[in-house]
């Protein structure tokens, strides 16, 4: 009989390799990355452009342009686009981030030939209709106004501003007046400059073997266009105050804390061991921050520490929400846990638990071809070596407490951390 009081044995993670992608440079200059897997008759097509916040010459222009792509083309209205996508049970969306913008289509494989002309139309012929443009600007500004009533939003916005600088793409806060002043002509010009297929990385994954040539033909017919490489933002090392930066929110009972610093890029030789250390500190439900600040002190429902990689600037972020009167005490407990990692060796049992957690989580994140493609995209966009994930597994398994303590002393000094507290005055 199975004894459910005894945990099953933990098996070591075997060597992990991503499936090889077939990469083709098309006549247009676009690169097509194909990861074929016929386990399910579904496909994901993503067209990724260097058209994120980093590329815009007016605040908000990248986001506005990306969102307007689905608001109508020269041959289809927004309603017609939405109806066609819905008729085939598909999903089509366009998102803009700091570094890039991405149009994503999910559909059954048999519907890809029918939906591909729609995708090309959306990317190539957006109309930027005036009525939809004004409605989108109004909705976006209203949504940000609502978000700015939340201490968590304000804390994250202020933290990025202090860490990267208010004049950089990574730190610039949303400016409602500048966003309202954007015009259809500016969006059209940004689209012409940044959405050329010569600026595209195309990722096709799933049951795609029979459709690969079709996609290559669709994205390969435009003439090649040379796109200048993205300019790295000028980010100066912030001056860290010994006191938290405080943002008062009238009427709020809650305070939000954001704490962190610039962090080594994913290409840094310490990156895998640092990931393990961050998880010990605050990267999962059983982490030290959760045990101290949630379980022992009862100050919050949740607290986390995570690394946010970007192409030109990576950061460590610690975040939580607490009662206003508990904010300073919570910060002092975070500092206490930072000091503990510097002063004490991590017990062997705790270290093995965290290793098993992050390696098991990693293995689970490779369970579908879409997730495998997401890992592969990291290699492409962050300029990582082909054996990056193999090194991750090997270095995680081999990490020892003394090495992690040395890294904590190098990177976890509380004095190097930017602290932001938003909430009631005096929090």
Tens digit of each residue's pLDDT (9 = 90 or more) over 60-73: 999 999 999 999 99
pLDDT at 191: 95
The count of other CB atoms within 10 Å of the CB of residue 151 is: 25
Beta carbons within 8 Å of 65's beta carbon, 6+ residues apart: 51, 96, 101, 187, 190, 191, 194, 195
Tens digit of each residue's pLDDT (9 = 90 or more) over 84-112: 999 999 999 999 999 999 999 999 999 99
Assess whether pLDDT exceeds 70 at residue 29. yes
- CATH number of the structural domain 22-220: 3.30.830.10
- Provide the mean pLDDT of the chain: 92
pTM above 0.85, yes or no: yes
Q: What is the widest separation between alpha-carbon atoms in the chain?
A: 72
Assess whether pLDDT exceeds 60 at residue 224. no
What mean pLDDT is predicted for residues 153-169?
95
Assess whether pLDDT exceeds 60 at residue 222. yes
If DSSP states are collapsed to H, E and C, what string results for 113-134?
HHHHHHHHHHHHCECCCHHHHH
Confidence of residue 240 (pLDDT cuts 50, 70, 90): confident
What mean pLDDT is predicted for residues 187-196?
94
202 with 33: CB under 8 angstroms? yes
Q: What Å distances lie between residue 342 and 25, 183, 294, 339, 427, CA to CA?
A: 48, 52, 22, 5, 28
**% of the chain with per-residue pLDDT over 90:** 85
Assess whether pLDDT exceeds 90 at residue 201. yes
**% of the chain with per-residue pLDDT over 70:** 93
Higher-confidence residue: 300 or 238?
A: 300
pLDDT at 198: 86
Tens digit of each residue's pLDDT (9 = 90 or more) over 329-344: 999 999 999 999 999 9
pLDDT at 139: 96
Tens digit of each residue's pLDDT (9 = 90 or more) over 391-425: 999 999 999 999 999 999 999 999 999 999 999 98
198 with 30: CB under 8 angstroms? yes
Residues of the chain with CATH 3.30.830.10: 22-220, 245-423
What mean pLDDT is predicted for residues 359-386?
93
C-alpha closest to that of 225 among 267, 203, 263, 192: 192
Confidence of residue 229 (pLDDT cuts 50, 70, 90): low
What mean pLDDT is predicted for residues 286-308?
96
C-alpha closest to that of 299 among 274, 262, 336: 336
C-alpha closest to that of 197 among 125, 123, 128: 123
Beta carbons within 8 Å of 395's beta carbon, 6+ residues apart: 272, 273
Confidence of residue 243 (pLDDT cuts 50, 70, 90): confident
**Is the alpha carbon torsion for 97, 19, 120, 191 positive or negative?**
positive
Confidence of residue 233 (pLDDT cuts 50, 70, 90): low
Beta carbons within 8 Å of 105's beta carbon, 6+ residues apart: 43, 44, 45, 46, 90, 91, 92, 115, 119
C-alpha closest to that of 235 among 420, 54, 49: 54
Q: Which two tokens stand for residue 18?
A: 């991503």
Instruction: Return d(Cα 211, Cα 160) in angstroms, integer.
Output: 42
pLDDT at 123: 96
Fold classification of 245-423 is Cytochrome Bc1 Complex; Chain A, domain 1 (3.30.830)
Assess whether pLDDT exceeds 90 at residue 2. no
What mean pLDDT is predicted for residues 21-36?
94
């Amino acid at each position: 009989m199975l004894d459910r009081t005894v945990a099953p044995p933990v098996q070591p993670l075997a060597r992990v390799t991503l499936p090889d992608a077939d990469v083709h440079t098309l006549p247009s200059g676009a690169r097509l990355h194909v990861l074929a897997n016929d386990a399910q008759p579904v496909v994901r097509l993503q067209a990724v452009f260097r058209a994120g916040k980093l590329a815009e010459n007016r605040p908000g222009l990248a986001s506005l342009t990306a969102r307007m792509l689905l608001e109508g083309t020269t041959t289809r209205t927004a309603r017609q686009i939405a109806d066609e996508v819905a008729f085939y049970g598909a999903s089509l969306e366009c998102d803009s981030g700091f570094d890039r913008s991405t149009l994503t289509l999910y559909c059954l494989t048999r519907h890809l030939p029918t939906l591909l002309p729609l995708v090309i139309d959306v990317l190539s012929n957006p109309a930027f209709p005036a009525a939809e443009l004004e409605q989108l600007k109004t909705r976006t500004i209203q949504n940000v106004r609502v978000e700015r009533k939340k201490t968590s939003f304000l804390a994250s916005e202020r933290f990025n501003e202090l860490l990267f600088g208010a004049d950089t793409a990574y730190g610039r806060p949303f400016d409602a007046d500048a966003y309202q002043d954007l015009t259809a002509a500016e969006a059209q010009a940004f689209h012409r400059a940044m959405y050329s297929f010569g600026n595209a990385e195309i990722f096709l994954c799933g049951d795609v073997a029979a459709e690969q040539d079709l996609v290559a033909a669709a994205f390969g017919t435009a003439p090649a266009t040379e796109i200048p490489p993205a300019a790295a933002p000028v980010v100066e090392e912030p001056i860290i105050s010994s006191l938290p930066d405080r943002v008062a929110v009238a009427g709020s009972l809650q305070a939000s804390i954001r704490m962190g610093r610039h962090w080594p890029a994913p290409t840094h030789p310490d990156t895998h061991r640092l990931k393990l250390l961050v998880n010990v500190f605050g990267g999962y439900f059983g982490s030290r921050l959760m045990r101290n600040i949630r379980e022992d002190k009862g100050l919050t429902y949740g607290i986390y520490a995570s690394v946010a990689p970007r192409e030109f600037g990576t950061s460590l972020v610690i975040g939580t929400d607490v009662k206003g009167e508990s904010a300073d005490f919570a910060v002092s407990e975070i500092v206490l846990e930072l000091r503990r990692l510097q002063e004490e060796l991590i017990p062997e049992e705790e270290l093995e638990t965290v290793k098993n957690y992050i390696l098991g989580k990693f293995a689970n994140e490779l369970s579908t071809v879409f997730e495998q493609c997401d890992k592969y995209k990291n290699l492409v966009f962050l300029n990582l070596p082909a054996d990056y994930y193999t090194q991750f597994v090997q270095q995680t398994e081999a990490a020892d407490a003394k090495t992690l303590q040395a890294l904590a002393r190098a990177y976890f000094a509380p004095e190097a951390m930017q602290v932001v507290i938003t909430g009631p005055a005096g929090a």
